[in-house]
Every structure is written in C-alpha cells, then in structure tokens.
Amino acid sequence: MTGTITCLNCGNAFTGNYCSNCGEKVLHDHDKTIAHFLEDGVHFITHFEGKFFTTLKTIFRWPGKLSVDYCRGVRQPYFKPLSFFLMIVILYLLFPRFQGLNMTLAGHMGQGPTYGAYATAKVEQYLQHHPGTTIQQLAEKFAKKSEKTSKILLFIIIPFTALPLWLMAFKRRKYYYEHLVLSTEINAFFLLFGFLIFPLILAGWDMLGRWLKVPNHQLADMWLGIVAYTTFAIFTATALKRFYQYKWKYNLAILLVMLAIHILIIYFVYKFILFITIFALL
C-alpha cells in the first residue's frame, strides 16, 4: 500500500505514481537499473516518433479528427497541431530542393493586377539608390534571402485562413482558437501533400518514365494542378464537415468560399508579405 507522497519537485501531496500538480514521476529502486537508464534515452525518440506518425495517419485518414480531438481535450496521442506544422517547415528547410511557395524577383514583378507594379517600382527605386548594383545582382541577392524566409513565413497563412472560417462558422465554434486549430491542420495537409508528397510522386513518375523510356511521359502542368487541388478540396470538405458538422449543402458553400479565399491568401497575401519582408531584409 502506498500512502500520500510529497512531490520532490513541487511539494504537492498526492497518491499514485505521478504528481497530480506537476506530473513528476515517483522514483522506485527498479527505475535505477542500467537497463532503465538506456530505456529512458530511447523512450524520447520512440515516443516522439509514435506521436508524429499517429498525427500524420490521423490527418490523412480522418481529416478534421485531429482538430476535433485537440479542441475537446484528447491531446496525448498527438503532436500539437502547431508543432506538427513546425515539423513540416523544418522538413522543408532540410530539403532545399523543395521550392514550395518560393518565388523569384521577376515572379514578384510579374504579379499582374495585384502588386506587380508596386514590386517593379520598389526594384527601380532600389537600383537608383544602389547605382553599382545590376538587376541580375539584385535578383540573386533576393533569391538567396528568399529561400529560407519563404519557408519560415509560411506560419502567417494559419491566422489568415482561420479568419474566413471564424466569420462563416462563428456560431458553431465559440473561440477563434478553435478555428486556428483547424486552420493549422488544413494548412499542414496543404503543405505536406502539395509541396512535399505530390512533388515526390511526380519525381518518381518522371524517373520511372525515363527508365522505361516511355516517350512523352511528362504530365501536363494544368492536369497536375487540377489533381492536386481536387485532393486538397476533398480533404478540406471532409475536415470542415467533421469539425463544424454542417449539413452538406452549407458545408459545400463554406468549402467554396474557403478555397477561393485560400487561393487569395497563398498567391497574393502571402507572396506580397514575402516580397515586403525580403525587401526589408535586403
């Protein structure tokens, strides 16, 4: 029989194996074996890996479930959504081959109706103030800064995506926080699938085609875009349905508005902020 224990870490009195206040574990003699010492070291890695793959599997198999569980208080089996998003960004940073949403200086200047003219004016202004610099040199400097910044800046798409979700569904979920959680899950899938998994599948396809010497094995860009976006739409529809539990018709309406706004966020809001940020860093 174990009676009341005083926690060695925080002084709280409790019963059981873990402190009810701070979570400190009660040490027994069998915790002090060499085997246990080694086990403790490996535990961190296996624990980390287990949670990572559970989170990954949940997102892909049951879109929206991670957010539902996280908001109602089932958190132990998973990575925190924002930590999961951070992991994806780190994966991105580790593999510079994945371009993701990075864009060249010329790309920004070519952003037709939105901020293209603004970007062009900024570039001209910069060249006037730095008479020794050519536009090619500026473009190179810009690309160097953009490679990492474009990835770290991906975090800003989360609050922007949560905004329309909150506006359209504020009656279903009380806290902005909850829409932020769902937004994190949706954007984690968006990045993971659209900018890591899908490009990998395409690269594999390309290698296979070249290896088998199939003529014209390359797929048309337009169709790739349609496939990638349809997958994202199906994911988002399922996640919205599970999270807000709207009837299908209303769910579809929310989906369409949400996708339209998401495109605006990714291709204009994010890229514009990226452009200003890099220019400020130059």
Binding footprint of Zn ion on the chain (CB under 5 A): 7, 9-10, 12, 19, 21-22, 24
Least Å distance, CB 277 to Zn ion, is: 43
| Least distance from Zn ion to the Cβ atom of residue 24, Å | 5
From CA 232, how far away is CA 209, in angstroms rounded?
26
Shortest separation between residue 12's beta carbon and Zn ion, angstroms? 5
The residue among 24 and 69 lying less far from Zn ion, judged by its C-beta, is 24
Name the minimum Å distance from CB 31 to Zn ion: 17
The two structure tokens encoding residue 110: 């070519």
Axis-axis angle for helices 157-169, 248-264 (nearest 10): 150
> 14 or 126, CB closer to Zn ion?
14
Of the pair 16, 215, the CB lying nearest Zn ion is at 16
Q: Which is nearer to Zn ion, 9 or 137 (CB)?
A: 9
To the nearest whole angstrom, how small is the minimum distance from the Cβ of residue 19 to Zn ion?
Answer: 3
Q: Which is nearer to Zn ion, 20 or 133 (CB)?
A: 20
Select 22 or 208, whichever has its Cβ closest to Zn ion: 22
| CB of residue 28 to Zn ion, shortest distance in Å | 17
